[in-house]
């Protein structure tokens, strides 16, 4: 069942588009790693007057970038696994295929 699903995805180019989209999202979330601390700092600075307590942490915090880093790494891993499953055959199968092709040729 998985082999028929794999061949259908590869032949219709859905896998190529999906893997490209996943890698693009991974790159985008990696860029958010650098912009998320600045964005949260700007928001905290803008709304500090509305808080009841004094804003003790008004600096740029790198903790705001951790979720984006996790998303980026997870998307890269997912894209790699899909790329390997759909388009890169394992070396053991590749050697068996080449041996059968070489033996069938006169």
Residue-level pLDDT at 90:
63
Average pLDDT over residues 53-58: 60
Q: Is the pLDDT of residue 56 over 60?
A: no
Question: What is the tens place of the pLDDT at every residue in 18-45?
Answer: 999 999 999 999 999 999 999 988 888 8
The span from the CA of 92 to the CA of 97, in Å, is 9
Q: Match 């996790």 to its residue by tokens.
A: 70
Question: What is the tens place of the pLDDT at every residue in 61-96?
Answer: 888 899 999 999 999 999 999 999 888 876 655 555
Q: Provide the residue count of the chain.
A: 106
Domain count, the chain: 1
Q: Is the pLDDT of residue 101 over 90?
A: no
55 compared with 73, residue with greater pLDDT: 73
Q: Which residue segment(s) compose the domain that 22 sits in?
A: 2-104
User: At what angle are helices 2-11 and 66-87 packed, to 10 degrees?
Assistant: 100
Quote the distance between the C-alpha of residue 42 and its chain's center: 27
pTM of the model: 0.71
Which residue, 94, 70, 72, 57, is CA-closest to 25? 72
Residue-level pLDDT at 60:
81
Q: Is 23 helix (H, G, I), strand (E, B) or coil?
A: helix
């Amino acid at each position: 069942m998985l082999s028929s699903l794999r061949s259908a995805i590869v032949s219709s180019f859905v896998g190529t588009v999906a893997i490209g989209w996943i890698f693009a999202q991974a790159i985008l979330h990696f860029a958010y790693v650098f912009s998320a601390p600045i964005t949260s700092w700007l928001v905290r600075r803008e709304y500090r007057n509305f808080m009841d307590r004094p804003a003790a942490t008004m600096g740029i915090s790198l903790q705001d970038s951790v979720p984006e880093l996790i998303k980026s790494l997870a998307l890269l891993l997912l894209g790699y696994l899909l790329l390997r499953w759909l388009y890169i055959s394992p070396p053991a199968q590749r050697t068996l295929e080449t041996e059968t092709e070489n033996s069938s040729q006169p």
